[in-house]
Amino acid sequence: MAEFSKEMKIVLIINMIVAFVYGIMYVFLPDAVYSLNDAPYFDPHFWRLFGGALIAMGFPVLLGLIKGDWDYIKLLFLFAIILLITLALVNITSNIYVTRSTTNLVFHWLDTIVMIVLIVFNTFFYLREEKK
């Protein structure tokens, strides 16, 4: 059993909080999120589906934190990095084909910046943890 560092625990907690906050917003409050960010399209099913996927990513992180085993969580962590990269690329490229209001553009880029920051931190700490 390979324990992970205190810094990795902090990164995992941040990831879990972000996953649960965004997940809960999209699952339980899609109408409020839609109204708040002035999204160009609204399909509550897909918004809730995306939120459910985020919540589903948060629970294994919680279990990994409880178990405290790097070997248990590293594959999921790598999957999360790949998922974040994919979502960031989709977000960035969607600017080409989606007409957005100023309000939605601000929220859109805020989400993208959060993803990019998580990608950088996750990749850095994943590589550092793998060296141990």
pLDDT at 1: 57
Whole-model pTM? Answer: 0.84
The token duo for 67 is 């178990």
pLDDT of residue 73: 85
More confident residue, 115 or 60: 115
Q: Tell me: the pLDDT tens digits for 57-109? A: 888 888 888 888 888 888 888 988 999 999 999 999 998 888 889 998 999 89
CA distance 74 to 103: 37
Per the structure block, which two tokens stand in for 88? 């960031």
pLDDT of residue 14: 93
